[in-house]
Amino acid sequence: MRQNKQRTGILEKEFFIIDKAGFEQIYLQYWEGMFAFCLSSIKDEEHSKEIVQDVFKSLWERRDELRLIEVERYLIRSVKLKTFEYIRNKVTRQQHLDNISNTREEHYVDNSMIADELAEKISMLIDSLPKQCKNVFRMSRE
């Protein structure tokens, strides 16, 4: 990780250029803290690891276009945003699952009522058949 100076107007800012060695250094320095924050928020170790890895993956993929002045601040903000996004999506998924579950129950109740009504109609139709036809039908079905 090298520092480059860039003059913008009167202010002189230093930004980090992320190379392979710099990335490894950043990863080793910040991974554990980012993971701890994420785990304390969502209480799921696997998803926490995944979120932190996504942040580092994004950092590596965007290393050429990023002009970071404060790497730690960038990483903390990124992991917070990813964690909150995960929580928001989890809530949304749960709401969808609840809606589907409620819809299924209503659908099954409707199907059960329809099946009962249909069985009743069939029974009435069978009873209206002549005696011999009724006996033949019942023997073939029951």
All structural domains of the chain with their residue ranges: 1-142
Q: What is the pLDDT of residues 53-63, one digit of tens each?
A: 999 999 999 98
* DSSP designation for 68: B
Task: Tell me: pLDDT of 103 over 70.
Answer: no
Q: Which residues of 42-54 are buried (b: 16+ CB within 10 A; e: fewer)?
A: beeeeebeebbee
Give the model confidence (pLDDT) of 60-89 as tens digits.
999 888 888 888 999 999 999 999 999 988
**Six-digit token string for 141:** 């079905």
Q: Which residues have CB under 8 Å from 141's CB, separation 6+?
A: none
Residue 13: predicted pLDDT:
57
1-142 under CATH 3.30.70.890, yes or no: no
Of 76, 62, 64, 74, nearest in space to 17 by CA = 64
